[in-house]
Amino acid sequence: MIEEKVRKYLEAMLDIPVRMEEEPGLPEEYILIEKTGSGEENHIASATLAIQSYSGSLYGAVSLNERVKEAMEKIVEMDDISKCQLNSDYNYTDTTRKKYRYQAVYDMVHF
C-alpha cells in the first residue's frame, strides 16, 4: 500500500508523527496522508496522495509543508517508486476546527 510506504518514509525523514487518520493525543505539528485516487496501466500502479501538514500557526503549517516537499523530492530514491510529481500545494486551513494546515498533492507511480 503506497500510503503506508510514504507514511513510514516521511516519519523517518521529518521525525514527526505521520498518520493516515486523526487520532487522540497527536501533538500540535503532525502530518496526515490520504490517497485521493489511483489507477493501473500495464501492471504499473499510479496514485494521487494528499499530504496535509498541521501546525499551531499558519507559518508553522507553511514551514512543515516546505519540509514535506523537500523530503518528497527524494522519495524516488526508493526502489519501488519511479515517479513523484507535485501536482499543487495550497493553504487548506480547517476553519471548522480552527486548525492551520497546508496541503500538498502528489501524483506518484509505484510498483
Going residue by residue through the chain, which has 111 residues, state the pLDDT in tens, using 9 for 90 and above: 899 999 999 999 999 999 999 999 999 999 999 999 999 998 899 999 999 999 999 999 999 999 999 999 999 999 899 999 999 999 999 999 899 999 999 999 998
Q: Within 10 A of 11 (CB to CB), how many other CB atoms are there?
A: 15
**Minimal CA–CA distance to 77: which of 15, 17, 5?**
5
CB 65 within 8 A of CB 57: no
Task: Say what the pTM is.
Answer: 0.94
Class of domain 2-110: alpha beta
Record the cell numbers describing residue 71, joined without a space.
523530503
CB 102 within 8 A of CB 91: yes
Domain boundaries, the chain: 2-110
